[in-house]
Amino acid sequence: MQMLKIKDLRVTIEDQEILKGFNLEVNAGEVHAIMGPNGSGKSTLAAVLAGRDLTVTGGKVLYNGEDLLEKSPEQRAKEGIFLGFQYPIEIPGVSMVNFLKTAVNELRESRGEKPLSASDFLKLMREKKELVEIDSTLTNRSVNEGFSGGEKKKNEIFQMAMLEPKLAILDETDSGLDIDALRIVANGVNKLKSKERASIVITHYQRLLDYIVPDFVHVLYDGRIVKSGDKDLALLLEEKGYEWIKEEAGA
């Protein structure tokens, strides 16, 4: 079943066109990897899908058949879109527990479910914490405050596990991670994989794809997908770098 359809999407930031006619179709059950050199528009894609305040000058995005760009960020979240931030935001004074409890219960409410009791919520947290091997004390601290780079990324995956999204978009979640953290992040994504869910994994490097096997690999360059293939394309990129893609695209 088709979940996401992006057609000829154009996005401008400060008078500069970043996405220049971007096309992508994602079906439930699929994992798509989007790779590309710096500045190709990867993070802009993640941001516009999550509902960042960007100027869309053309094209459309359908999510489950509905116009996604019309919806507020929180509505998108409630409909199952999750963004793993490249740079997770610190919110001093707001504990992880309080933050997640609010988020989980907002989502439940939008589905017509009752809020979780404190004990059920804590149980769910324990379960998911084990999954992402996150340090227990982190969830007692303020959201991302004083977390190391790796902890922040693991925390994104932890939140994803708690919120169980339909479509997870991970924006360079692997950057700056050591091998152990990488394995944990991948594990989180793999655990979520099911017939009803899909993921878009945005990455600069191939190494994450050793752990998450994508169904499709797309190369984004200069605001467009210039090449698509299976996981072998990622290996090719690892071997040859992006230069040949740039040359091909330029030609």
Beta-strand runs (E) in the chain = 2-13, 16-27, 31-35, 55-63, 66-67, 81-84, 91-95, 142-143, 167-171, 198-203, 216-221, 224-229
Dmax of the chain from CA atoms? Answer: 61
Verify binding: residue 39, another protein, rule CB under 8 A.
no
Per DSSP bridges, beta strands 216-221 and 16-27 are unpaired
Verify binding: residue 93, another protein, rule CB under 8 A.
yes
Binding-site size for another protein (CB under 8 A) equals 32
Verify binding: residue 20, another protein, rule CB under 8 A.
no
Say if CB 167 and CB 26 are below 8 A apart.
yes
Interface stretch with another protein, choices 58-66, 76-84, 132-140, 204-212 (CB under 8 A): 76-84
Q: Please give the distance of CA 139 from its chain centroid, rounded to a whole number.
A: 21
Classify 233 in phi/psi space as left (phi over 0), alpha (psi -120 to 50) or beta.
alpha
Q: Which of 2, 57, 102, 140 binds another protein (CB under 8 A)?
A: 102
Beta bridge partners of 91: 143
Verify binding: residue 190, another protein, rule CB under 8 A.
no
Q: Which of 103, 116, 226, 236 binds another protein (CB under 8 A)?
A: 103
Which positions from 153 to 182 touch another protein by CB under 8 A, shown as an x/- string? ------x---x-------------------
Verify binding: residue 57, another protein, rule CB under 8 A.
no
Binding site for another protein (CB under 8 A): 50-53, 72-74, 76-78, 82-83, 85, 88-89, 91-95, 98-100, 102-103, 106-107, 110, 142-143, 159, 163
